[in-house]
Amino acid sequence: MQRFEELRFDNIYARLPPIFYSRHQPAGLNNQFLIHFNRSVAEMLGIDPVEAGRQDLVDLVTMNKPVQGFDPVAMCYSGHQFGQYVPRLGDGRAILLGQLLNDQQARWDLQLKGAGRTLYSRQGDGKAVLRSTIREHLCSAAMHGLGIPTTHSLAMFGSDEEVYREQIETGAMLIRVAPSHIRFGSFEYFFYTQRYEDLKTLADFTLEHYFPECWKEQDGYLGLLKRVIESTAELIASWQGVGFCHGVMNSDNMSIHGITIDYGPFGFLDAYDTGHVCNHSDYQGRYAFDQQPRIGLFNLSCLAQAMLPLFNENPESAAELATAELAKYEQIFEKAWTAQKRRKLGLVAERPEDATLFDQLLDMMQQSQTDFSLFFRQLSESNPQACRDNFIQRDRFDDWSRRYAKRLSQESRSETERRASMQKINPKYVLRNYLAENAIRMAEDEQDYTEIDRLISLLSSPFDPQPGMEHYAQRPPDWANTLSVSCSS
In eight-state DSSP terms, residue 39 is: H
Residue 52 has a pLDDT of 82
Residue 482 has a pLDDT of 86
Q: Which of 252, 262, 270, 282 is catalytic?
A: 252
Give the mean pLDDT of 331-337. Answer: 97
In eight-state DSSP terms, residue 460 is: T
Alpha carbons 67 and 234: distance in angstroms, whole number: 38
Torsion sign over Cα 368, 373, 379, 382? negative
Cβ–Cβ < 8 Å for 52, 70: no
Query: Which band of pLDDT confidence, cut at 50, 70 and 90, is reported for residue 489?
Result: low
In eight-state DSSP terms, residue 391 is: -
Encode pLDDT of 183-209 as tens digits.
999 999 999 999 999 999 999 999 999
Residue 270: phi, psi to the nearest 5? -95, -95
Query: Which band of pLDDT confidence, cut at 50, 70 and 90, is reported for residue 18?
Result: very high
Percent of the chain with pLDDT over 90: 87
Name the residue with higher pLDDT: 488 or 7: 7
Query: Which band of pLDDT confidence, cut at 50, 70 and 90, is reported for residue 467?
Result: very high
Residue type, 196: Y
- What are the CA-CA distances from residue 156 to residues 34, 214, 339, 435, 439 (Å)? 6, 36, 36, 18, 14
Give the mean pLDDT of 84-113. Answer: 94
In eight-state DSSP terms, residue 470 is: G
Give the mean pLDDT of 432-448. Answer: 97
Nearest-5° Cα angle at 424, 418 to 427: 120
Encode pLDDT of 216-253 as tens digits.
888 999 999 999 999 999 999 999 999 999 999 999 99
Exposure string for 217-226, b = 16+ CB within 10 A, e = fewer: eeebbbbbbb
The residues near 324 (Cβ < 8 Å, ≥ 6 apart) are: none
Answer yes or no: is pLDDT of 110 > 70: yes
Give the mean pLDDT of 22-32. Answer: 93
* CA proximity to 269, closest of 427, 153, 130: 427
Answer yes or no: is pLDDT of 481 > 90: no
Which residues share a beta bridge with 152? Answer: 177
Residues listed for the chain: 489
Query: Which band of pLDDT confidence, cut at 50, 70 and 90, is reported for residue 285?
Result: very high
Alpha carbons 279 and 293: distance in angstroms, whole number: 17
* CA proximity to 133, closest of 109, 159, 107, 108: 159
What is the SS3 assignment for 100?
Answer: strand
Answer yes or no: is pLDDT of 474 > 90: yes
Encode pLDDT of 140-176 as tens digits.
999 999 999 999 999 999 999 999 988 899 999 999 9
* CA proximity to 250, closest of 284, 285, 287: 287
H helix or E strand, kind and range, residue 114: none
Answer yes or no: is pLDDT of 488 > 70: no
Annotation says 252 is catalytic: yes
Nearest-5° Cα angle at 78, 72 to 82: 130
pTM: 0.96
Give the mean pLDDT of 377-386. Answer: 93
Mean model confidence pLDDT for the chain: 95
H helix or E strand, kind and range, residue 226: helix 220-242
The residues near 385 (Cβ < 8 Å, ≥ 6 apart) are: none
Query: Which band of pLDDT confidence, cut at 50, 70 and 90, is reported for residue 54?
Result: confident
* CA proximity to 321, closest of 218, 247, 188, 414: 218
Alpha carbons 67 and 71: distance in angstroms, whole number: 9
Q: Where are the domains of the chain?
A: 4-181, 345-422
* CA proximity to 258, closest of 111, 102, 148: 148
Answer yes or no: is pLDDT of 459 > 60: yes
- What are the CA-CA distances from residue 316 to residues 308, 322, 328 (Å)? 9, 10, 19
Encode pLDDT of 344-357 as tens digits.
999 999 998 999 99
* CA proximity to 19, closest of 254, 177, 253, 205: 205
- Nearest-10 crossing angle of helices 329-344, 220-242: 30
Encode pLDDT of 412-423 as tens digits.
999 999 999 999
Which residues share a beta bridge with 113? Answer: 94, 174
Query: Which band of pLDDT confidence, cut at 50, 70 and 90, is reported for residue 305?
Result: very high
The residues near 187 (Cβ < 8 Å, ≥ 6 apart) are: 199, 202, 203, 303, 306, 307
Alpha carbons 195 and 403: distance in angstroms, whole number: 59
Alpha carbons 26 and 174: distance in angstroms, whole number: 12
